[in-house]
Every structure is written in structure tokens, then in C-alpha cells.
């Protein structure tokens, strides 16, 4: 990571300040390069893997990382990034990581693409405050590794350990306050893709279990970023904007605007993610009715809190007038518009 940071400084590759940024000075933003290199290196150290059988996973990883890196350097159009993500999802589907319970190939492919793109972009949205994306990814990886019943293939287990390692390594530099580097899209999309892959690897390894409860488990583990992503899309559509239009009304923005420190926000989000992973384990142990009640209650509580904070309020244009250097005004504005 220090080598990548020095490279960014040498070649003037920074995440600039702006109305949608929370930092007050340019920060190097190619941390995703170090994340992906370490991720690939960690996987390569695992023995017993015949990579010829796993080339779709590697090709999908390379495609999504390349699109994220290009966006970090040249600012790709959102549609180009979306096409790359759909291509990565299609590669996973070709490699056999799909919904085992959907018999129609076109429907299966569409479902895989939808969920993969949703998870990737939800984790990309999560990368708006120090330590969140890496911390949530690491927490989910730990859950897959230590919670009984969360079965993965050998490759899935390797990916989970690797995600845990790169997340922990990046947090050394990015746990708030950040030590001078951001992961950028080349990092957040790779971490999101890794979590999406674990979901489909879990599905493939748990075909013998109740299909309805098994479907719910990975969704509950990533419920926090997924629900924030869904609320983000709904908020922007409700305000008459494109879902690809940026804003600063994610749940962590609202907590920061209420005066929470970035450390407090990060630790709270880690705890909530861990709690959702525990709920996912309870879902796996339950019949469908109990599992559905658990999911509705837990996700309903999160949505209620998020809506109460103002996640669906269409006021991003007013908030965008305030930069990170004007945090006091930003907080005052939030307190005025929140219920």
C-alpha cells in the first residue's frame, strides 16, 4: 500500500475535493491496486487449485477491476462500468456460479447479473466514509469462515480468507482517520465482487438445504449495504434524478451529519453487520416461516431507522452545496431537514 501511495503522489493521481466529497484536500485513490494485487497473490498461494477450471472467476475479477481502475484514473461513464459488471456476472454464470434452483437459463443468468451488480454497487456506495467498505467486507468474510453451516467450496474458502486478509490490511491505512489513501472504485468494486462470489459459491455448496432459507442467508449477511443501495436508488428516482447521480444521503452520511465521529460510525456499522450475519445463521437453522419473520423484522428495523434519518428525502441538491470544509453548515442543514 505505501508503494501504491507513492506512485499516486508521483503521477498526481488523487481523489479531488468537491461537493460530494467529505475530505478537504486531495487524497491518493488507487488503494484498489494494492488490494487486488494482494487478493490475487493470496489466492495464488492456495494449493490444490487447478486454475484452468476457475478461469471464469479470474476473468470476471480482472474485468471488474480494470473497469474500476479506469474509472479511478479517467472517470469512465457509469454505463461503461455497468457493462463491465454485467460481463463479470455473466462470466461467473458461465463458470457454474448461479442460482441452483432456477431452471430456466435466461432467467438464471438475469438473476445472477442483477444480484451481482446490486452487491458490487452497494459496496461501491459504501465506500464514502473511512473504513466502511473494507470493514464490512472483512466482517462478512469472517462470518463465512467461522459460523457453522456456512459451507463454501475450497475456492470459496480461499476467497473468503483472502478477502479477510486484504480488508484487514487496508484498514491499517484506512480505518478512520484515513492515513492518506483511498481504495477507489478499483478497490470497492473488487471487494463487492468478492462478496457476490461468496454468495453464489454458498448457493452452489448448499443445494441440499431448504432452497428458500438458503437464498436468504447471503442476502441477510450483506443486508446493510444492500438496503442502503436500494434506498439510494429509490431516493434518486423519487427526486427525479438518475440512479447513477451522486449524493451525500447514505445512512453513514446522515450519521456523520448528526455529529457522529467517523470512528463511531465505522464501529457501529461493523457491529450491525456482525448482528446481521448472526441473523443469517438463525435463518439457516429455521424453517421458512420463521426465517421470513426474522428477515422482515431485522431488515424492517434497518429501513425504519434509515427512513427516519432521512434516507429517502430528496434534498441532495441542497446538501451538495456544502463541501467537506463546511461540515458545520452541513450538520446544521441536516438537522433542519430531518424529522
Residue 287 CB-density burial (10 A; 0-12 exposed, 13-18 middle, 19+ buried): exposed
178 vs 30 pLDDT, higher one: 30
- pLDDT the model gives residue 210: 67
Digit-coded pLDDT (tens) for 197-244: 999 999 998 876 667 788 999 999 999 999 999 999 999 888 888 787
- Say which residues have a Cβ less than 8 Å from residue 114's Cβ, sequence separation at least 6: none
Could you give the CA distance from residue 205 to residue 199 in angstroms, rounded to a whole number?
10
**pLDDT greater than 90 at residue 332:** no
**pLDDT greater than 70 at residue 327:** no
* Percent of the chain's residues with pLDDT above 90: 63
- pLDDT the model gives residue 113: 98
Digit-coded pLDDT (tens) for 53-86: 789 999 999 999 999 999 999 989 999 999 999 9
DSSP-derived secondary structure letter, 54? S
User: Confidence class of residue 18 from pLDDT cuts 50, 70 and 90?
Assistant: low
**pLDDT greater than 50 at residue 146:** yes
C-alpha cell belonging to residue 157:
474458502
User: Confidence class of residue 34 from pLDDT cuts 50, 70 and 90?
Assistant: very high
Q: Mean per-residue pLDDT for 103-130? A: 95
- pLDDT the model gives residue 315: 53
Name the pTM for this structure.
Answer: 0.90
Q: How many CB atoms lie within 10 A of CB 55?
A: 12
Question: Across the chain, what does the average pLDDT equal?
Answer: 87
**pLDDT greater than 90 at residue 45:** no
Digit-coded pLDDT (tens) for 187-203: 999 999 999 999 999 99
Could you give the CA distance from residue 117 to residue 109 in angstroms, rounded to a whole number?
12
Digit-coded pLDDT (tens) for 84-112: 999 999 999 999 999 988 999 999 999 99
- pLDDT the model gives residue 225: 96
- pLDDT the model gives residue 249: 86
Residue 132 to residues 5, 182, 191, 272, Cα–Cα distance (Å): 20, 11, 12, 12
Amino acid at each position: 500500500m505505501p508503494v501504491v501511495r507513492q506512485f499516486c503522489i508521483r503521477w498526481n493521481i488523487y481523489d479531488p475535493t468537491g461537493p460530494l466529497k467529505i475530505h478537504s484536500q486531495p487524497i491518493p485513490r488507487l488503494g484498489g491496486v494494492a488490494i487486488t494485487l494482494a487478493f490475487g497473490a493470496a489466492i495464488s498461494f492456495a494449493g490444490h487449485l487447478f486454475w484452468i477450471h476457475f478461469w471464469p472467476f479470474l476473468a470476471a475479477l480482472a474485468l471488474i477491476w480494470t473497469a474500476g481502475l479506469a474509472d479511478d484514473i479517467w472517470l469512465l461513464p457509469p454505463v461503461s462500468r455497468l457493462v463491465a459488471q454485467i460481463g463479470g456476472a455473466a462470466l461467473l454464470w458461465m463458470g457454474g456460479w448461479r442460482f441452483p434452483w432456477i431452471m430456466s437459463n435466461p432467467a438464471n443468468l438475469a438473476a445472477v447479473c442483477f444480484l451481482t451488480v446490486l452487491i458490487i454497487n452497494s459496496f461501491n456506495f459504501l465506500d464514502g466514509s473511512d473504513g466502511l467498505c473494507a470493514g464490512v467486507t472483512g466482517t462478512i468474510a469472517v462470518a463465512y469462515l467461522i459460523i457453522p453451516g456456512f459451507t463454501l467450496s475450497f475456492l470459496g474458502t480461499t476467497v473468503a480468507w483472502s478477502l479477510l486478509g486484504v480488508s484487514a490490511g487496508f484498514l491499517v491505512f484506512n480505518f478512520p482517520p484515513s492515513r492518506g489513501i483511498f481504495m477507489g472504485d478499483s478497490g470497492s468494486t473488487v471487494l463487492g465482487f468478492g462478496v457476490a462470489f461468496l454468495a453464489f459459491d454458498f448457493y452452489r455448496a448448499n443445494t441440499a438445504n431448504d432452497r428458500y432459507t438458503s437464498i436468504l442467508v447471503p442476502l441477510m449477511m450483506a443486508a446493510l449495504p444492500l438496503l442502503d443501495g436500494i434506498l439510494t436508488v429509490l431516493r434518486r428516482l423519487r427526486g427525479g434524478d438518475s440512479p447513477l447521480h451522486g449524493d451525500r444521503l447514505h445512512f453513514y452520511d446522515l450519521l456523520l451529519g448528526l455529529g457522529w465521529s467517523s470512528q463511531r460510525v465505522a464501529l457501529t456499522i461493523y457491529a450491525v453487520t456482525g448482528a446481521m450475519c448472526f441473523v443469517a445463521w438463525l435463518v439457516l437453522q429455521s424453517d421458512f416461516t420463521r426465517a421470513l419473520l426474522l428477515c422482515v423484522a431485522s431488515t424492517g428495523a434497518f429501513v425504519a431507522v434509515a427512513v427516519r434519518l432521512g434516507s429517502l428525502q430528496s434534498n441532495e441538491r441542497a446538501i451538495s452545496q456544502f463541501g467537506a470544509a463546511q461540515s458545520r453548515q452541513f450538520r446544521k442543514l441536516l438537522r433542519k431537514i430531518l424529522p
